[in-house]
Each structure stands twice: as C-alpha cells, then as structure tokens.
Amino acid sequence: MGTSDSGNKLNSPTEYRGRFAPSPTGPLHFGSLVAAVGSYLQARASRGRWLVRIEDIDPPREVTGAARAQLETLIRFGMTPDEPVVYQSRSHRRHLNALARLRQDGRAFSCACTRRDLPGSGIYPGTCREGLPAGAKERSVRFRVSGKPVEVVDRVFGPTEYNLVHAGGDFVIRRADGLIAYQLAVVVDDIAAGVTEVVRGSDLLDSSARQQCLYQALGAETPGWMHLPLCVDRFGRKLSKSSGSDPVERLRPANALQLALTALGHEPPAGRRTLDSLWQWSFSNWRPEQVPKDPFEIA
C-alpha cells in the first residue's frame, strides 16, 4: 500500500489490557452492550485485564444518574471490571498537559474558524495553520495532520489506509467551549491506562487514524484495533439509545446476552439459558476471527 504509519500491535507480548468506555448520555443500550461483551470476551480470551472508564467530559450531553445506571447494567449482565472504574473528568490536568505538549511541539495550533467558515466539503482548509488572521481570536485548537497515508490495521476489518488531509483535514482537539475533544481525551486516557487493544463499535473506525497520529505525536505505542459490527434497526439506522424496543430493556439479561453474542458472530447452542452457562460457553468458544463486519439488524 505504499508508505504508511502502521498501528498493528496484535502480537505484542505485553500483558493485554482492554477497556469499555461508555459516555453517560443515557442507559446502556444494545449497541453498547455488544461493545462491552466484545471487549470483555477479548480481554478474557487474552488472559488480560478488562477496565471500565466513564467518559464524562461533555457535561451538556450527560444525563444525571446515567453513569451509575450503566455500571449497574454491566454488573447485572455479569461483567465486573478488574480494576476500579475510572472517570474521565478526573483526568483533566493530564489532558491539558498533553494539549500543551502538542502545541509546544508545533503539532497543534490555535484556530479562529467556526463551522460556518468551512467549505461545503467540511474539510478544514488550513486557514489558521500559519497563525491567526489579523484581529481574530482563538476559538479552538486543532491537530496538524500531514498528507502521509495512515494505515490502520483492524482485527475485524483488516488494513485500511486513510489520508487525513482528504478526510477532514486538521482536526479539533480542544473545542470552542473549552472542552477537550474526544479524539485527544480518549488517546491520553488509554495511554495512561496502558490499553493494548481498543475494542469498540465500527462507527468509530475512522477515528482510529486520527488517534493513531495522536499516539505517535505523544510518543506512545499505538494499541491494536478491533471494531465490532453496528446494531441497526430494520431501516438500517443505528439503534437509538431511546428506542423502546432496545433488547437491554425488553429482554431478561440472559436473552439479551444471547442476542449480543449472535451479533458478534457467536450464536450459542440451544440449552444455554442462564447468564452463567452463556458466559461459560463464550469463554471457551470466543474466536475474534468470527466477528462479522456487517451491521446486525434488531427486529
């Protein structure tokens, strides 16, 4: 594929450390359950550690009590983290230090642009790359990307090459409202936690290239990537957190877990009707190569 930045670390001898990192924007919905189950099983199959981090750094989107409810749901399904739960909001100083380092190294720069200033393509044209225009004030901070292809090697989707200049350009790492953006916060916290493989939904697959560049800029080793199939409704739309037909809400935990395993390409045999029996079967039969790429439709 030519010159690229590869992030494949699938055969590292380092102790495996995986994580599940929900945002507290509502109850744990089925798509998140699938991500939790996939990350949990991958950690168990790798004889590693499974961590949980609540990504509570976007107060306008957070729902009171959601984090507690999400953790209670995980426990109800039999998934207990191996270390104390981490709250991302408590890592603010770490995020600011990383931001300062990127600015000092010239990898990040001040930007005065609003969304209205972007062209119809949505690709940032580099307006403030060489300094703010006369009279303009900083609104956000962007990470400087290069035209060098970035190759993301994913355990499910295989190798994919991205050119970030053509996929949005320099991206925001500190928002106009002063909040640290997801792309930077998640990388900084995964580095701090020693995460060796990121297992999550495939809607975040294209974020991996940006995050891979941030790992490199911060001098950290890139983790392995494993993106799981999306869960969609019969119209092909991503399953809504507020959907009344969400299996997490309408099914007992054993049945919802069975459906989640099916979504991951691991349909349990007949007779596995309890949580304990389903987990026992899953631990013995988990094969990441069986995880499908195609979305899973919820009837």
> Who wins on pLDDT, 244 or 95?
95
Q: Tell me the per-residue pLDDT of 87-127, one tens digit each, with 9 for 90 and over.
A: 999 999 999 999 999 999 999 999 999 999 999 999 999 99
> Who wins on pLDDT, 233 or 200?
200
d(CA 281, CA 257): 12
d(CA 71, CA 139): 35
pLDDT of residue 170: 98
- Read off the pLDDT band of 240 (50, 70, 90): low
pLDDT of residue 62: 95
CA-nearest of 292, 282, 296 to 40 is 282
> Who wins on pLDDT, 289 or 236?
289
Whether the per-residue pLDDT at 6 is higher than 70: the answer is: no
Whether the per-residue pLDDT at 247 is higher than 60: the answer is: yes
- As a whole number, the mean pLDDT across the chain is 92
pLDDT of residue 205: 95
- Read off the pLDDT band of 81 (50, 70, 90): very high
CA-nearest of 3, 33, 36, 4 to 216 is 4
pLDDT of residue 214: 98
Backbone φ and ψ of 13, nearest 5°: -80, -5
In 177-188, which positions are buried (b, 16+ CB within 10 angstroms) versus exposed (e)?
eebbbbbbbbbb
| C-beta separation of 102 from 217 below 8 A | yes
d(CA 275, CA 231): 21
CB burial class (10 A; 0-12, 13-18, 19+) of residue 68? exposed
* Nearby residues of 109 by Cβ (< 8 Å), 6 or more positions away: 103, 128, 129, 141, 142, 144, 170
Q: Tell me the per-residue pLDDT of 16-25, one tens digit each, with 9 for 90 and over.
A: 999 999 999 9
What's the rounded mean pLDDT across residues 185-211? 97
Q: Tell me the per-residue pLDDT of 113-171, one tens digit each, with 9 for 90 and over.
A: 999 999 999 999 999 999 999 999 999 999 999 999 999 999 999 999 999 999 999 99
**Which residue ranges form the domains of the chain, and what is each CATH number?**
5-297 (3.40.50.620)
Whether the per-residue pLDDT at 2 is higher than 50: the answer is: no
Whether the per-residue pLDDT at 235 is higher than 90: the answer is: no
Whether the per-residue pLDDT at 292 is higher than 60: the answer is: yes
Residue with tokens 């019969």: 234
